[in-house]
Structure 1
Amino acid sequence: MSIRPVTALSKAQPTLEGAGVHLHRAFGFHEPEALDPFLLFDDFRNERPEHFQRGFPWHPHRGIETITYVLNGSVEHGDSLGNSGTLGAGDVQWMTAGSGILHQEMPKGNARGQMHGFQLWANLPSSLKMTAPRYQDVGGGDIPEVIDDDGTRVKVIVGEFWGKRGPVDGIAADPQYLDIYVPPGVTKTFPVDTYRRAFAYVFEGAGRFADASQPGGVLLEKEVMGQEVNIRDLSGDRTLVRFGTGDEVTVQAGPEGIRFLLVSGAPIQEPIAWHGPIVMNTQAEIRQAMSDLRNDRFIQPAH
């Protein structure tokens, strides 16, 4: 077994999206090959309804899949397929945009006005760029959770882990998407397929990720985006951890424990042409998508 080295640490950056939603973007729109097959990851966490309630009105997608995971509050959604519904705390939605879909997502706070969730974009290979669009909503009660003897908890959202399989199925990138909590002071190792790209996103507590060259721990105390980050100050710090190759990730939880998403997927390794919510392989395909939008041909007839 080999520990995946930590290759980079960075903070999610404040970003405005939709009709004025304040969120933090961990990565997206730059160096799409770096975390192939993943394109973008947003953390929408806010306690001020005026910073999120105008939401994401009707907009198009083509050529990607999105995975939305809600922790607090809710998200009402509707789409050009006629689907509509509400994602509550703990719920997950997977959308395959494929050949084209128009949808809207309108977040609402909980009783205390809090909203928190994540959205991950996964690329589609060229052979599936123009596949039929589809949706899958999964209730939080259907997401298996594994609890180890030391108190470690893992929610298996996508993929298989510790004998449990997540309910979200059919994603082309075949990712593993885990929500992990490790109790204070506990050191835990998690297997990750050697041939997959992987990242962790810390959103509660703090910890150290072991490195092959420094097995005693890395480095959530080292410089992140030009600032010294202390292990005790990482709570809510929105830290993205990128890993090199290897077949396991080891973390030592700090004094308050650590909660993070661990995501991995097999790289597609194809050219990427990107224009906002549309991701294709060539600029000609982007121009065609924009022409389709202008001429009301974006939604393809069902085959």
Structure 2
Amino acid sequence: MQSNGHAGDSSEPIAGQTIRHGTGVTATRAFPTNAYPSNLDPFVLFERFFIDPNEGFPTHPHRGFEIVSYMLEGGMEHADSLGVSNTAATGDVMRITTGSGIEHSEFPADDAACNGLQLWINLPRDRKAIDPEYVDAAADELPTATDDGATVTTVVGAGSPIDLETPMEYLDVRVSESWTWSIPDGWSGFCYGVAGSGLVDGDAFGEGDVRPVTDGRSVEIRSEDGLRVVAVSGQPHGEPIRQRGPFVL
């Protein structure tokens, strides 16, 4: 996949696309997809993965970007070429800076199915060859606050122990009534439906749906049936995103 720009804001939410990885893992991809065939600078791709027992990702290489994996249900075992082994449980987050190169594997823990969210974030050209690094945080380390009409957990952003080379914010939001998502001027982002149903700027929105936003502004999100979304935004690099399988050049 290769894309240098974005397709512009959609007038309505876009359904995610089912992806079947060669390792027996199924994912619902938000972008790039047939419906939104672009990256979303600074973001390379985003998907919800579902790993059945005895499936997973054997050791494989990455370089040139950062990975944030956020567990929704079950646990996932991570092992990498830095010598790190960690099992992330529900609500835990892992961040990998692939930089000049890293190898890792991902398998479900305790022979039980798991699912979570994975985001790839481009590294700016002058940082692509930095040393690889791994950091994780447990669910109880992530700040959670009650906002007007929602409960918001900060996965990446103010108060979270997880930070990246790219200025960004990653929020897990359980909307009980209505909530306003504010995106800084000049930033790009997207919201993704994790569970339940509701409205995003007046349009029907549910599990697996994505709403790209490429003009920093406010987005109104309303729950109809316990809507849970992740809202992610970041500062674009203004550089081409050239993905070649597991590498971002």
TM-score (norm 2): 0.89
The equivalent residue for 1:238 is 208
Query: What secondary structure, in the 3-state scheme, does the structure 2 residue paired with 1:257 have?
Result: coil
Instruction: Determine which of 211, 221, 244 is the counterpart of 1:251.
Output: 221
Answering whether residue 42 of structure 2 is matched by residue 37 of structure 1, we say: yes
Amino acid at match of 2:193: V
Distance 2:215 2:244 in 1: 30
Residue 265 of structure 1: aligned partner: 234
Quote the residue 1:117 is aligned against: 116
Contact 2:76–2:114 (CA under 8 A) maintained in structure 1: no
Deviation at 1:274, TM superposition (A): 2.0
Match of 2:76 in 1: 75
Q: Aligned to 1:195, what secondary structure does the other structure show?
A: coil
Paired with 2:93 and 2:22, the residues of 1 have a C-alpha distance of 20
- In structure 2, the residue matched to 1:24 is 28
Match of 1:224 in 2: none
Q: Distance in 1 between matches of 2:113 and 2:59?
A: 23
- Cα distance change of structure 1 residues 129 and 244 upon mapping to structure 2, 3 Å threshold: closer
- Flag the 1:65–1:179 CA change in 2: closer, same or farther, 3 A: same
The answer on whether the counterparts of 1:32 and 1:38 sit within 8 Å (CA) in structure 2 is no
Name the CA distance, whole Å, in 1 between partners of 2:241 and 2:234. Answer: 17
Alpha-carbon distance in structure 1 between the residues aligned to 2:50 and 2:58 = 18
After superposing the two structures, state which structure 1 stretch, 120-129 or 37-46, moved more.
37-46
More strand by share: 2
Partner Cα separation in structure 2 for residue 244 and residue 114 of structure 1: 35
Displacement of 1:74: 0.7
Aligned to 2:13: 9
1:193: how far off?
Answer: 0.5
Could you say which structure has the larger radius of gyration? 1
Query: Over the residues paired in the alignment, what is the CA RMSD in angstroms?
Result: 2.1
Q: In the alignment, is the contact (CA less than 8 A) between 1:77 and 1:103 conserved in 2?
A: yes
Mapping for residues 1-303 of structure 1, pairs under 5 Å: 7-28=11-32, 34-45=39-50, 49-50=52-53, 53-108=54-109, 113-148=112-147, 150=149, 152-160=150-158, 165-169=159-163, 171-183=164-176, 186-210=177-201, 217=202, 219-220=203-204, 234=206, 237-254=207-224, 256-280=225-249
Q: Return the alpha-carbon distance in structure 2 between the equivalents of residues 259 and 253 of structure 1.
A: 8
Instruction: Give the 3-state SS of the residue equivalent to 1:15 in structure 2.
Output: strand
State the distance in 1 between where 2:13 and 2:76 align.
30
| Residues 109 and 120 of structure 1, relative CA distance in 2, 3 Å threshold | farther
Q: Percent identity?
A: 37
| CA deviation after TM superposition for structure 1 residue 34, in Å | 4.4
Q: Distance in 2 between matches of 1:279 and 1:129?
A: 9
Deviation at 1:269? 1.4
CA contact under 8 A between 1:18 and 1:55: conserved in structure 2? Answer: no
- Does the aligned pair in 2 maintain the 1:16–1:23 contact within 8 Å? yes
Unaligned runs of 5+ in 2: 1-8
Task: Give the partner amino acid of 2:160.
Answer: G
Query: By how many angstroms is 1:29 displaced?
Result: 7.5
| CA gap 1:7/1:159 in 2 versus in 1, 3 angstroms | farther
Contact 2:41 2:236 in 1 (8 A): yes
Contact kept in structure 1, 2:31 and 2:39, CA below 8 Å: no
2:174 maps to amino acid: Y
Query: 2: CA distance between counterparts of 1:121 and 1:245?
Result: 20
Normalised TM-score (structure 1) = 0.74
CA 258–209 in structure 1, closer or farther in 2 if over 3 Å, else same: same
Give the counterpart letter for 2:31 in structure 1. F
State the Cα deviation string for residues 113-135 of structure 1 (Å, max 9, x = none). 44220100000001011000000
Q: How many residues align?
A: 240
Read off the aligned partner of 1:257 and give its amino acid letter: G
The 3-state SS of whatever aligns with 1:201 is strand
